[in-house]
Amino acid sequence: MRYASKIAVLSFACCMLSIAAAPQTPAPANKPAGAAKATPFDPSLLQPATLRAKAPAEYEVKFVTTAGEFTIKVTRAWSPNGADRFYNLVKHHFYDGASFFRVLSGFMAQFGLSAYPEVSKAWENANIKDDPVTQSNQRGFVTFAKASSPNSRSTQVFINFANNGALDRDGFSPFGQVTEGMEVVDKLYSGYGEGAPDGRGPSQDLIGNRGRAYLEKSFPKLDSIRSATLVPEAAAAAPAAAK
């Protein structure tokens, strides 16, 4: 998915367990035939159609990255379809391990291609309907990337570095805002510039096909997401005071 013009229309090692033979020690049970192999990601991510929970009216997401931490507050009324999609992706840890693969100084920082090729493939055509633009693409506001065609938003997101109000008329609908740690977003590595084929940065197709291994080999300076998690409500997070 790549932006138009200035906006290019917008990843186990199997362990061998050796068991020393000992007198009268029972052998370990055989692994059942056809047992599922463990995956490094939530298996439900391979079934996008099942991840349709409605988001709360407001929620926060904490990002822990290689550059530091920041928080996004999402307001569902701004862009309901976008807020619901982001909520489901974060809830199932879609963004964990993903890189900020397209960071353009003075413009925006883009992420949302999975670290795992099989996950990227599952979401390739899992698009959501467009939302009206109710908020402007100002500094710190968070928006889904999309193609020029209608209803093309999927998993890719960008954070505005500057006041990019010109994006509003093209249907880029913000659903949230960075409320803490915008200085961390500002520090994300931007040295590779625009992505291929227009620049020397990563190819989105190769990220989708090869995942994190491609980026670690060819673009090792990119910052990445260690975790993106929903912030618990204060009442649930804090125990009641002892009387």
For residue 90, give the amino acid letter.
Answer: V
* Proportion of the chain above pLDDT 90, given as a percent: 77
What is the band of 147 on the pLDDT scale with cuts at 50, 70, 90? Answer: very high
Number of structural domains found in the chain: 1
Angle at 30 between CA 25 and CA 36, to 5 degrees: 140
Spell out the residues 6+ positions from residue 240 whose beta carbon is closer than 8 angstroms to its own: none
Residue with tokens 């125990």: 239
* Proportion of the chain above pLDDT 70, given as a percent: 80
Spell out the residues 6+ positions from residue 54 whose beta carbon is closer than 8 angstroms to its own: 84
- Compute the average pLDDT of residues 144-157: 96
- Pick the more confident residue, 33 or 158: 158
- Compute the average pLDDT of residues 23-43: 61
For residue 167, give the amino acid letter.
Answer: L
Dist CA 187 CA 113 (whole Å): 20
pLDDT in tens, 61-109: 999 999 999 999 999 999 999 999 999 999 999 999 999 999 999 999 9
Predicted pLDDT of residue 195: 92
Do 81 and 128 meet the contact criterion of CB atoms below 8 Å apart?
A: yes
Give domain status of residue 35, yes or no: no
pLDDT in tens, 168-203: 999 999 999 999 999 999 999 999 999 998 999 999
User: Would you call 15 exposed, middle or buried from its count of C-beta atoms within 10 A (0-12, 13-18, 19+)?
Assistant: exposed
Predicted pLDDT of residue 233: 52
Q: Within 13 Å, how many C-alpha atoms sit on residue 87's CB side? A: 22
Do 48 and 140 meet the contact criterion of CB atoms below 8 Å apart?
A: no
pLDDT beyond 80 at 29: no
- Pick the more confident residue, 179 or 236: 179
Report helix, strand or coil for 73: strand
Q: What single string gives the DSSP state of each residue in 204-233?
A: HHHHHHHTHHHHHHH-TT--BEEEEEEPPP
pLDDT beyond 70 at 19: no
Predicted pLDDT of residue 240: 46
What is the band of 30 on the pLDDT scale with cuts at 50, 70, 90? Answer: low
Dist CA 8 CA 148 (whole Å): 10
DSSP classification of residue 181: -
Predicted pLDDT of residue 36: 54
Strands 68-75 and 141-144: unpaired
The mean predicted confidence, pLDDT, of the chain is 86
Q: Give residue 82's domain range.
A: 50-233
Angle at 119 between CA 55 and CA 140, to 5 degrees: 50
- Compute the average pLDDT of residues 129-145: 98
Give domain status of residue 119, yes or no: yes
CATH number of the domain to which 162 belongs: 2.40.100.10
Give domain status of residue 20, yes or no: no
pLDDT beyond 50 at 112: yes
- Compute the average pLDDT of residues 211-222: 96
Predicted pLDDT of residue 37: 64
Predicted pLDDT of residue 38: 76
Q: Within 13 Å, how many C-alpha atoms sit on residue 77's CB side? A: 2
Do 185 and 223 meet the contact criterion of CB atoms below 8 Å apart?
A: no
Predicted pLDDT of residue 174: 98
